[in-house]
Chains A and B, each alone.
Chain A
Amino acid sequence: MDRQPNLNSSAPDDPTESTANGMNSPEPPANPLDPADDPLLEKLLQANSLEQAGDLEGARILYEEIIAIDVSSVWGASAKKALDNLPPESDFDASESPGDLSSLTATGGENAYLNSVASFPPTGKPQGNSTGILGFNWARERWKSLSVGLKFKILLAVAAIVPVVAFERTLVWFERPVAESETAAAPNAISYERVVRARFLGLAVGAGTALALLPIAYAIIRSLELNLRSMVRFTRALSLGNTQAQLSVTTTADEVAVLAEKLQDIADRMGESERQMQIVERERTQDTQKQTQEKERLQQQVMDLLVHIEGARAGDLTIQVPTVAGEVGAIADAFNTTLGSLKQLVERVNTIASRVTQQAQTSQTSVLEFSSATFAQSENLQNTLRTVVGISESIRQVAGTTQEAATIARQATNAAQTGDTAMDRTVEVVDKIRSAVANTAKKAKRLAESSQEVSQILASISGISEKANLLAFNASIEAARAGEQGVGFRQVADEVRALAAQVSESTADIEQLINTIQEETAEVIDVLELGTTEVVKGSGLVDRTKRTLQDLTRLSQQIDGYLQDVSRNTIDQTEASEQVNQTVETAAKIASATATEAQGVAAKLQELATDANTLQSSVAQFQVRSNDR
Chain B
Amino acid sequence: MKSVFVVEDGHTEQAMIKALLGQAGFVVSVASNVDEAWNWLQNNALPNLIVLDIVMPGKSGLELCRMIQEHDKMKDVPIVFCSSKSEEFDRFWALRQGAKAYVVKPYAPKELLDTVFTHIQ
Contact = CB atoms under 8 A, between A and B. Distances in A.
Interface of A: 3, 6-13, 15, 19-25, 27, 32-33, 35, 38, 41, 44-45, 47-49, 51-52, 73-75, 77-78, 80-82, 84-85, 299, 302-303, 306, 310
B32 A11 contact: no
Contacts of A7: 29-31, 36, 39-40, 44
Contacts of A8: 29
Interface string B28-71: 11111100100110001000000000000100000000000000
A122 B101 CA distance: 36
Contacts of B28: 9-10, 12, 19
Given A20-B14, A74-B16, A82-B110, A302 B22 contact: no
B114 to A, nearest CB: 10
B41 to A, nearest CB: 10
Contact of A38 (B15, B27, B96): B15
B76 interface: no
A57 B30 CA distance: 33
A366 B22 CA distance: 65
21 contacts: A6-B36, A9-B3, A10-B18, A10-B28, A12-B24, A12-B26, A15-B19, A20-B32, A23-B33, A32-B11, A35-B19, A44-B109, A45-B109, A48-B113, A52-B113, A74-B13, A75-B12, A75-B16, A77-B105, A81-B106, A303-B92
B72 interface: no
A33 B15 contact: yes
Interface of B: 1, 3, 9-16, 18-33, 36, 39-40, 44, 57, 87-89, 92-93, 96, 105-111, 113
A85 B20 contact: no
B96 A310 contact: yes
Contact of A12 (B21, B36, B57, B109): B21
B30 A20 contact: yes
A302 B13 CA distance: 30
Given A45-B23, A310-B96, A52 B32 contact: no
Nearest to A21: B32
A22 B9 contact: yes
A170 B25 CA distance: 75
Contacts of A77: 105-106
A22 B11 contact: yes
Nearest first, the 8 closest Cβ-Cβ pairs linking A and B are A12-B22, A77-B106, A82-B108, A48-B109, A27-B11, A22-B32, A19-B30, A33-B15
Contact of A82 (B27, B33, B109): B109
Contacts of A33: 11, 14-15, 18-19
Contacts of A38: 15
A74 B106 contact: yes
Most buried by B among A44, A45, A75, A78: A78
Given A10-B18, A33-B19, 18 more contacts: A6-B30, A7-B36, A10-B27, A12-B22, A12-B25, A21-B11, A22-B10, A22-B11, A23-B32, A24-B9, A24-B57, A27-B11, A32-B15, A41-B16, A45-B109, A51-B109, A78-B106, A85-B110
Contacts of A48: 20, 23, 109-110, 113
Contacts of A32: 11-12, 15
Contacts of A78: 16, 106-109
A41 B109 CA distance: 11
A76 B25 CA distance: 24
Contacts of B29: 7-10, 19
Contacts of A24: 9, 57
Q: Name the prevailing secondary structure of the A interface residues.
A: helix
A299 B107 CA distance: 24
A49 B15 CA distance: 17
A132 to B, nearest CB: 37
Contacts of B96: 306, 310
A49 B23 contact: yes
Nearest to A83: B108
Contacts of A21: 11, 32
A19 B27 contact: no
A20 B30 CA distance: 6
A88 to B, nearest CB: 15
Nearest to B29: A9
Nearest to B21: A12
A58 B111 CA distance: 18
Contacts of B93: 306
Contacts of B30: 6-7, 19-20
Contact of B18 (A19, A25, A52): A19
A306 B44 CA distance: 33
Contacts of B18: 10, 19, 33
A3 B109 contact: no
A73 B12 contact: yes
Given A24-B9, A81-B106, A45 B19 contact: yes
A33 B105 CA distance: 19
A330 B107 CA distance: 35
B107 A81 contact: yes
Contacts of B113: 48, 52
Contacts of A41: 15-16, 19
B89 A299 contact: yes
Nearest to A52: B110
Contacts of A82: 108-111
A3 B36 contact: yes
B14 A19 contact: yes
Contacts of A51: 109-110
B110 to A, nearest CB: 6
Given A27-B12, A78-B106, A20 B31 contact: yes
Nearest to A11: B27
A3 B32 CA distance: 10
A25 B111 contact: no
Contacts of B36: 3, 6-7, 20
Most buried by A among B19, B87, B108: B108
Contacts of A74: 10, 12-13, 16, 106
Contacts of B14: 19-20, 22, 33
B83 to A, nearest CB: 14
